[in-house]
A and B are shown apart, each in its own frame.
Chain A
Amino acid sequence: MAVVGLAVTVFFVMVAFLADFLAPFDPLKVGVAKVLQNPILGFPMGSDHLGRDILSGVIYGARVSLLIGFAAAGMSALLGILIGAISGYLGGNVDAVLMRITEIFQIVPSFFLAILLVVFFGASVWNVTFVIGMLSWPRSARLLRAEFLSMRTKEFVQAARSVGEKNLFIIFSEVLPNAIPPVVVNTSLEVGAAIITEAALAFFGLSDPSAVSWGMMLRNAQTYLRQSWWTAAFPGICIFLLVAALNLVGDGLNDALNPRLKER
């Protein structure tokens, strides 16, 4: 199943890359088709209330979703690794302070905080990515910290220290490669979560107006649901398929990287 997930993900990535060649129309161009045209030849996914081609919107939407998804998850992973590694390795006061900060981010429901931040700072692709990334690092940080805490006392770390290797070196080239698997799995799941969060923000109108987002398309579809099922069905099914694919990949990674759990 994970392979299926990977295949679907790669498919969407290709679509996003080749958007300029694949999309028949400019997705933001108004009036290329009759308003609320149902799917027919020439417009296989129909058009929305402004006469924009849904298929083109779906194709370009893949770009935004994948970009924000991977960028936000990447940012969250980097931050999480940095903070988790330092916190877990050094322990003591540093750990206590960093964990308090982490807790604050974890206590507050992230979606609502994201809404506030995007409302106040403006909804651009970069802002949305930044906000999502900034709100999801705690989980990675905690995972890595837990791994580091358990590895601090292991022999290979003591061996490295006794040879005189500097702490920073030990953190990044000795402990990190062994501690990273849970973070890898978590990050792959974060991509899916980031894509859904971006779509949800767009659904509330908090998306970059110059970039077509699947969530934005669903928002537009809401008013015209009665007359045009296609405006909601196609963008949404793409979100669903892409996120499901990413989650299957994440699950597969989990099975691969955590073989201990398989013994049941």
Chain B
Amino acid sequence: MTFKKYVARRTLETIPGVLAVIVLAFVIIHIIPGDPISKFVGPFETDIQYVNMMRERFGLNEPLHIQLWKYMANLLQGEFGRSVHGRPVLDIIAERIPATLMLTVSGLVFALVVGIFLGVAASRKPYSVLDSFSMSVSIVGYSVPVFWLAQMLVLVFALELGILPAGGMTSVREEYTGLAYISDVAMHLVLPALALGVNQLALIGRLVRSSMLEVFREDYIMTARSKGIKEKVVVYKHALRNALLPVVTATGMQVGYLLTGAVLTETVFSWPGLGRLLYESLNFRDYPVLMGMFVIISISVVLANFFTDIVYSLLDPRVRYG
């Protein structure tokens, strides 16, 4: 089918996913022990009349499906409630998104660049010592707990060697502007992005290697070689392009794990993003913010999968007929 039709179809298929997230959040809120009012009121003794008034006000006496409808309507209008500190949840979350986005994208770019390079290098000499070694290294890279790696990086590079900052997004001592600001943030970004990228790097490296090996067996590669094209061109221009397709899908599917890693890394580096917010809200038991984060992050992952599918269908039109 045409691209437009495919996009339309995928959009339709994504909507149930988004709705499922919202329904799931609603279910969680209502199955937790204790009712929402007791969470709102806290562990204090409260007048029963106040509790009943609150129930009325929040519509908790209405039938469940009406509550669900109202919940959905609220969410879709951006009404996520207020945090225990009083500020609207959506505002709190929205102001943290750019930092997390910056970190996640940087980590991913790092993982892709290094992972693809290593994967290609390993695929050119399969079953060699270098190859077996890099495969074991990739398993190791995949097994490292990202928050521990982050702590070790801080210890070595920031505290012992002192060449990179130990935390935060900007220096506390000076207020930079312009280019100096950008380079300051970049310096602070190095270690967190490095820590975040290692897990993904290992996976991408493996995937690129096996994908390249499969592509190398294709007829058109043999044709290219027999035409006398330089090996480097064969590898990078012909093979890599096609080998990268599964990498696109895999990376898209990994967004959830990438966000998980970002959240953990941010906690170690005091990076002012969603991860830090999650850590703080957990400490304060700030349930509205926690629920809001869950909904937003889950929907983001659903959307990320959607976009990955669209991009993939652009790269490989055969997918649209699936």
B264 and A203 form a contact (CB under 8 A): yes
Q: Judge if A21 is at the interface, Cβ distance under 8 Å.
A: no
B140 to chain A, nearest CB (A): 5
Q: Judge if A247 is at the interface, Cβ distance under 8 Å.
A: yes
A251 and B139 form a contact (CB under 8 A): yes
Instruction: Mark the stretch among B143-151, B226-234, B241-249 that contacts chain A.
Output: B143-151
Instruction: Mark the stretch among A45-53, A82-90, A105-113, A180-188 that contacts chain B.
Output: A105-113
Give the nearest-CB partner of A118 in chain B.
B282
A205 and B260 form a contact (CB under 8 A): no
A222 and B151 form a contact (CB under 8 A): yes
Kindly state the separation between the CA atoms of A220 and B139 in the bound complex, as whole angstroms.
Answer: 28
Q: Mark B24-40, 1 if CB is under 8 A from A, else 0.
A: 10001000110000000
B28 and A112 form a contact (CB under 8 A): no
A38 to chain B, nearest CB (A): 13
Residues from chain A with a CB closer than 8 A to the CB of B293 are 112
Q: Judge if A243 is at the interface, Cβ distance under 8 Å.
A: yes
Residues from chain A with a CB closer than 8 A to the CB of B290 are 115-116, 119
B151 and A236 form a contact (CB under 8 A): yes
Number of A-B contacts (CB under 8 A): 122
Known contacts A226-B159, A240-B144; decide if A116 and B260 are in contact (CB<8 Å).
no
Chain B interface size, under 10 / 10 to 19 / 20 to 34 / 35 or more: 35 or more
Residue in B147, B155, B283, B297 whose beta carbon sits within 8 Å of that of A218 in the complex:
B147
Residue in A113, A239, A247 whose beta carbon sits within 8 Å of that of B142 in the complex:
A247
Chain A interface size, under 10 / 10 to 19 / 20 to 34 / 35 or more: 35 or more
A222 and B267 form a contact (CB under 8 A): yes
A225 and B154 form a contact (CB under 8 A): yes
B299 to chain A, nearest CB (A): 10
A232 and B148 form a contact (CB under 8 A): yes
Which of B126, B144, B213 is the most central at the interface, judged by chain A CB atoms within 10 Å of its CB? Answer: B144
B282 and A218 form a contact (CB under 8 A): no
Residues from chain B with a CB closer than 8 A to the CB of A243 are 143, 145
Minimum-distance CB pairs A-B, first 8: A236-B148, A109-B256, A244-B143, A120-B32, A243-B143, A111-B260, A232-B151, A108-B298
Sample (13) of A-B pairs whose CB atoms are under 8 Å apart: A107-B20, A108-B301, A109-B260, A111-B260, A111-B263, A112-B293, A116-B28, A117-B28, A119-B290, A199-B145, A246-B143, A247-B143, A248-B139
By a beta-carbon cutoff of 8 Å, the part of chain B in contact with chain A is: 17, 20-21, 24, 28, 32-33, 126, 136, 139-140, 142-145, 147-148, 151-152, 154-155, 159, 166, 213, 256-257, 259-260, 263-264, 267-268, 278-279, 282-283, 285, 290-291, 293-294, 297-298, 301-302, 305
